[in-house]
Structure 1
């Protein structure tokens, strides 16, 4: 090597050492003395230069080693800088590669550069090379010899200089750094925006979001690239890429995000991982090489700690997604409890995306597996940029079972058409692990709604506003019927059937009472309202302890329950505190509020003969027309009772219409102003009456055979009241 060659090499190594030391903590100091960290950008270092004459040199750069099964592949570039006044013919020179022990390897020019021979005076040229070396060879074992053909010399060649990569030489961009490299001879800057690792019982599940920016002056159509993770032991595992296709182009200064995902066995170490990108280059008609073009160090893996994060990313063949654990609740269901995990899903790409076919399961204390159904609670068929869809995972456990830790596993199932909503136990298709969430046994509380306040239940397409209008207790002999009148407003822009609800009353001591719900089968118009009666039979000594009503949307076999269906679980649960009950009956019957009805009574008259008793009165029945109701919930009983209570007689009345929908029955109170005459034959009634002076007219609200007194007033026999 010439003196200049030695000096040039020493200078390059010194500059490299200084640059590496500086890159450890790059800082800038501004005029005001404030220091700011510089952007961390990695360029693969040159291993040195060899002078070929007094003003021209060959620089060996971009030296990489790509491991293979039978041999390793070395790729490198020679930058020829011609500082002389005459042309340089590269055909007069060559690069020879050998180990320090003397083993020699054949060096080849990639076909795309085979015609690069003339380097004009004052110009430069870059030529790419490759060579196959033994699988045990390392870069630090190799010598790059720059020779000039000289037929007067021994072996017809003259060695101009030899270069080796130092033991500290690295082609891997540090974690967090951007890396400059080339794809198809176009300069690109790459950056790992995000890297997370979750795991299941068998595998680590890495997810990497890679950003590529075209820093060149021309557009780049991405060639076929391969992505893989390389472990600290040198093992490589393929990654699936989304966000790129056969026609993906990156224009100058534009950026492109690529989502990468894969799986690695849990038996390997989860640290020291590297992302390696390779490009396939043709070396002839029937041959090619697959060489690394850039390598990134991934941040140190923290094992399963990422599973404790509430927001995680994954990708599949369609693109990159972000999931977030919104809440996890434990809800009552008969003699079991439902574990309900709400997860939001959105796309991290600027395009519409399909909703994956998601399945999953829950594990308690890393030992007890609970099958779940995945329910899509929003009525949408795809994901728009910036929008999200909510999912719920539902599993059942005995209500007495306690645990200390819970892990939610979210998976994607391909090869079936069941769609989101199937369970982890369904057969067929390929299941791929995506993410997992680990939480402790402290469940999120159900949303609590104060009396008379409103709460929105239901996702997109089924949204409704709920509030409790009133509470009533219908006493029985040993048990009472507790009812809650629930108002529902349709918040959608189309007529909608009411969600099939599941309801439970809850006592102050935590006791749960399953409740029945009256049916309203007609659709509710936009901004229209309906009134539901929700009821449960409770022991008489416990009915006054009922304090809350839990409501949720019914689910049947993984889908929202249809009008005539029977729920097997529920989602979107919320707990309403019950308002105070109006227990005292009105002291007059002239105006009775039976929301949404209002009943006014006057001109009450009675008549009695030896066999027949007649009760006659005028009434006006009004109804708030914006409400849909089930008329079976509003039956009345009119009772006539003598002053001493020994003689009584009663008539059941329908309100507005009968069970069959008829409005002209003689025992039906119709909307508007009417007169009703009620008669009953009882030849013994007159003998039970002590004095024909005063009687009580009692009006009851009757529900499922039990009744509650809502109004009572004294009248004189045989006199028409005002």
Structure 2
């Protein structure tokens, strides 16, 4: 198989015992010779089966059938199994027999029956029975120096003991179960055949190798085996011992009757340590006295070396999950990067696909990046948390990391490591190893991002991502920073957008309170359709911005993974300027419109002038819509900003219909207003850029997509006749104007006019007033306030009558006066027309009369 490493999905679990040093009880040369002997011929191999037993009677005997040795700090732990054969016609009572361990020098060691065999009292006629004992001998005592005595109780003897015989294992004998041979053991009181299938090594670091051991377990009993409470140790011919750790996915497993299962274990071993002649020891914790005892020793096959092959750019890597539970196809799709403050920020699109026939749980692989120098940089992701894939289902995840400039040159490799396991008690983190090493393609630079479309692969299609604009706008006592990004479906099928989260980053500092706003509520995008999203935050007005990033992440539950990060370096682009008389297109999805400046007026005051602008906004959608809500600021040539009050219609505009938007602010008289500009943008509210219409431009959380309209204030002089008067939306034609003296203090006034109303625009509530002012020769003036749409009537031959009463007119019979007509807004006025006239009964009252 080309890359066996990919087929192995082993992770670590803690053995749960204190690491100790075990020393092989046979000299290394003996083990090496035994291994050599095995490789030459099986006929010369001497095992425990060749060790003579002890006769108990003419038809009964006992033999030593298994011996295992484990060296600890306090001594060498030896377990040995005695197998009784009873060919008598009656039961053999084990209470009559005992065993002792004694060195050839005469030192006696106490043996203790294992708890699991404590209830074995007799051997039935015509059967065999095995019982296991444990004893502790000196650390330097060799197995060949021990005699295993078989004792029968005899009360006629002085010490009541009758030694029936001694069993000794010569040093030339092999105690371990030979290679390619199964050994039957009892695990959790279930008979299981164990067999070592393979030993493989591969590089872990410059100084260490991983050693992977595959063990086959076959339940030959009649009940299931649940979570075997055994552990495994790899012991080298030189006597060094290394605990083996189980794959995290197999940390708990079951084995049904007659079921066979192969389990992989792994450990790290220094490269200088040789594995020829290594053995595998099965140990079990003794709950009674909290000790660890060896239960089986197996010879290991010769180690084969696995070379970690790299997956070339664009190549797919198929990983077989543990115990053939499924197959996952993996691939690095694309890589992009941007640069901020001496660091490269990378985004890797990584594809996983279940190519098996059943649902699989994707292991929690851990990723790192290796640069050309060989340095390793871990990266974190939660994209694999609880990830399951159905057959043929694939998932695209995003992996992000950063590297300093000097570490980012040359070829980069993405390393996918097997999961690490953590022991719940010790919290000791164990190792993992690569399941795949992927050479990453050349990264696409996202450095000059504004205006360029970048490709983003999603689960069900491809998006074009364009960072259209970035704007820094005045907002109350701060600035609002907004970025507009367009997502375009460039697939041939309808896409469902994932739940998105946005992040603005200024000079590599992420802004956690970034708002993400969308121009539409639906997450569906048909082929070729697009949607605008805005990222919005506020900044101190004195904060300089030299580098800016926009990041989009996919939200899944409580986790998120970054999809793309775009970068802009240098000064922010200028706000687009619309020349006098030109239109500006609002391209908000579902609210497309055209906007232009209709006129700008200056209403003079004593300390401040009112700058007033009328905007005409046309609905270019094919249906009735609420027009975008606007926010505005006047900007002086010196860069001073004055927030405006905006008034708009509060009802939808029909297809092709236009509406008037009024914008105004009080500007100090010292400010030159003739060269001002009007900054206008779309107000945002909540999570949308298309909030409900309102009358005040100060509502919402900010504004976006602003443009700067060049203004040309209307400077027409007042007319010298009141015959024709224009005050939008009315055109007035004066038919007659009379001021009749009564001979006392009263003057009766009458204005006869024709009025036509222009209905080309939908208008908000009109705040303008028409002021008729009478100025008599002494300079005293009298005002008549006419509220448009209330006092002023549309139609021909309309009249407005009113009375002035003042002592200045007492006994006056004739004379002249002046009439002035004003447009008043917020208490400040623009003169529309003026004319000198005479009090009735003087002639010439008709304006323009000859």
Task: Pick the aligned partner of 1:621 from 735, 755, 764.
Answer: 755
2:812 equivalent to 1:683 = no
Distance change (3 Å), C-alpha of 1:234 and 1:539: closer
C-alpha distance in structure 1 between counterparts of 2:377 and 2:802, whole Å: 97
C-alpha distance in structure 1 between counterparts of 2:200 and 2:354, whole Å: 36
Q: CA deviation at 1:702?
A: 0.8
Q: CA deviation at 1:464?
A: 3.0
2:332 equivalent to 1:172 = no
Distance change (3 Å), C-alpha of 1:549 and 1:616: same
C-alpha offsets along residues 259-292 of structure 1, whole Å, 9 cap, x if unaligned? 222456979977743365999xxxxxxxxxx999
**Aligned ranges 1:284-433 → 2 under 5 Å:** 296-299=438-441, 309=449, 323-346=465-488, 350-363=493-506, 365-366=507-508, 370=511, 372-385=513-526, 386-411=528-553, 430=559, 433=562
Matched residue, 2:615: 486
Q: CA deviation at 1:400?
A: 2.9
Q: Say whether the 8 Å CA contact 2:211–2:269 is kept in structure 1.
A: no
C-alpha offsets along residues 651-675 of structure 1, whole Å, 9 cap, x if unaligned? 1112222xxxxxxxxxx11121132
C-alpha offsets along residues 456-489 of structure 1, whole Å, 9 cap, x if unaligned? 3362233332111111111112221110011122
Distance change (3 Å), C-alpha of 1:212 and 1:360: closer
2:843 equivalent to 1:700 = no
Distance change (3 Å), C-alpha of 1:614 and 1:484: same
C-alpha offsets along residues 179-207 of structure 1, whole Å, 9 cap, x if unaligned? 58698999999764412357999997643
Q: CA deviation at 1:248?
A: 5.0
C-alpha offsets along residues 149-185 of structure 1, whole Å, 9 cap, x if unaligned? xxxxxxxxxx9xx99879xx663222x3435869899
Q: Secondary structure at the match of 1:469?
A: strand
Q: After alignment, is 186-195 or 375-384 more displaced?
A: 186-195
Distance change (3 Å), C-alpha of 1:97 and 1:670: same
**CA RMSD between the two structures:** 5.1
Matched residue, 1:596: 729
| Greater RCO, 1 or 2 (C-alpha within 8 Å, sep 6+) | 2
C-alpha offsets along residues 123-150 of structure 1, whole Å, 9 cap, x if unaligned? xxxxxx9976754599xx999xxxxxxx
Q: Secondary structure at the match of 1:632?
A: coil
Task: Pick the aligned partner of 2:336 from 182, 196, 207.
Answer: 196
Matched residue, 1:501: 630
TM-score (norm 2): 0.54
Q: Secondary structure at the match of 1:343?
A: strand
C-alpha distance in structure 1 between counterparts of 2:560 and 2:615, whole Å: 42
**Aligned ranges 1:182-193 → 2 under 5 Å:** 192-193=332-333
Q: Secondary structure at the match of 2:796?
A: strand
Q: Say whether the 8 Å CA contact 2:395–2:459 is kept in structure 1.
A: no
Q: CA deviation at 1:548?
A: 0.7
**Aligned ranges 1:53-92 → 2 under 5 Å:** 68-69=11-12
C-alpha distance in structure 1 between counterparts of 2:618 and 2:517, whole Å: 22
**Aligned ranges 1:635-650 → 2 under 5 Å:** 635-642=769-776, 646-650=779-783
Q: Say whether the 8 Å CA contact 1:376–1:391 is kept in structure 2.
A: yes
Q: Say whether the 8 Å CA contact 1:207–1:315 is kept in structure 2.
A: no
Q: After alignment, is 537-546 or 204-213 more displaced?
A: 204-213
Please list every run of 5 or more consecutive structure 2 residues that lacks an aligned counterpart in the other structure.
15-196, 203-209, 219-261, 277-300, 371-375, 420-431
Q: Say whether the 8 Å CA contact 1:612–1:679 is kept in structure 2.
A: no
C-alpha distance in structure 2 between counterparts of 1:504 and 1:551, whole Å: 7
**Aligned ranges 1:202-601 → 2 under 5 Å:** 206-208=347-349, 210=351, 229-232=367-370, 233=376, 240=383, 246-249=389-392, 258-262=395-399, 272-274=412-414, 296-299=438-441, 309=449, 323-346=465-488, 350-363=493-506, 365-366=507-508, 370=511, 372-385=513-526, 386-411=528-553, 430=559, 433-457=562-586, 459-556=588-685, 560=691, 563=694, 566-601=699-734
Q: Secondary structure at the match of 1:628?
A: coil
Q: Secondary structure at the match of 1:240?
A: coil
Question: Number of matched residues?
Answer: 556
